Amino acid sequence: MSHSTQWVSALKGIIGETNVIQDPDQLKGYAVDGLAPRAVVSPGSVEEVSKLLAYAHSEKRTVVPRGNGTKMAAGGIPGKIDLILSMLRINRITEHDIPNLSLSVEAGITLLEVQKKLAGAGKGSFLPLDPPYTERATIGGIIAASTTTT
Ligand SMILES: Cc1cc2nc3c(=O)[nH]c(=O)nc-3n(C[C@H](O)[C@H](O)[C@H](O)COP(=O)(O)OP(=O)(O)OC[C@H]3O[C@@H](n4cnc5c(N)ncnc54)[C@H](O)[C@@H]3O)c2cc1C
């Protein structure tokens, strides 16, 4: 087994085979400005993210986080991409404290899901953000891109 195959196999050992993409045709769909990664990983917990990043660092692999991919082709082309770290499975609302107007969510949840949750509480609360692709943009991607309005 070549070293380039070995490190992808190690990723499967960390998060399970079904959560690692290495098929070249599928990888094209995760390209950043035309540059395809060597693998896509979809961790299911913060602990798995931590393990993946520690491993990628030990192997000196480049990692690009990804939300829903609505703005992955707008400049800032990386020199190389080994891994796309998809955050879509890390998408829970972890705390909603209505009296204190406090909501805690994980990075991969979409803004649409957050707005639905707030609307469902029936207190007229909403997050005053209006990025493009509101129904798909994730909270992690919005914060990373410092989105305020369209
Ligand atoms: C170049 C660019 C221009 C934009 N222009 C506008 C604009 O004019 N008006 C406006 O309202 N919004 C703008 N945005 C924000 C954008 O529309 C979305 O709000 C945001 O990108 C979220 O979408 P997404 O979840 O699909 O993220 P993606 O498209 O998947 O990712 C967007 C960026 O955020 C990073 N990222 C995603 N998730 C995470 C995470 N969990 N942790 C760390 N980094 C992460 C990605 O690496 C990538 O660089 C822009 C974003 C970018 C990148």
Quick check: is 43 in a domain? Answer: yes
Same domain, 30 and 79: yes
pLDDT band at 12 (very low <50, low <70, confident <90, very high): very high
- Determine the pLDDT at residue 148: 65
Q: Which residues contact 100 (CB under 8 A, 6 or more apart)?
A: none
Find the DSSP H helices in the chain. Answer: 3-15, 24-28, 46-58, 111-120, 139-144
Quick check: is 57 in a domain? Answer: yes
Same domain, 61 and 28: yes
* Average pLDDT for 43-56: 97
- Determine the pLDDT at residue 98: 83
Quick check: is 149 in a domain? Answer: no
Residue 150 in this model has a pLDDT that exceeds 60: no
Same domain, 76 and 113: no
**Nearest partner of 21 among 49, 1, 2, 43, judged by Cα:** 43
* Average pLDDT for 65-69: 96
- Determine the pLDDT at residue 26: 97
Residue 102 in this model has a pLDDT that exceeds 70: yes
Q: 72 CB less than 6 Å from ligand 1?
A: yes
Please report the atom of ligand 1 found closest to the CA of residue 140.
Answer: 41
Indicate the top mutation candidate among 71, 92, 130 to test ligand 1's pocket, ranked by most ligand atoms within 8 A of CB.
71
Same domain, 11 and 66: yes
Quick check: is 150 in a domain? Answer: no
Beta carbons within 10 angstroms of residue 27's beta carbon: 17
The number of folded domains in the chain is: 2
Q: 109 CB less than 6 Å from ligand 1?
A: no
Residue 14 in this model has a pLDDT that exceeds 70: yes
Residue 143 Cα to ligand 1 midpoint, Å, equals: 8
Structural domain harbouring 131? 93-144
Top-confidence residue, 69 or 77: 69
Same domain, 24 and 69: yes
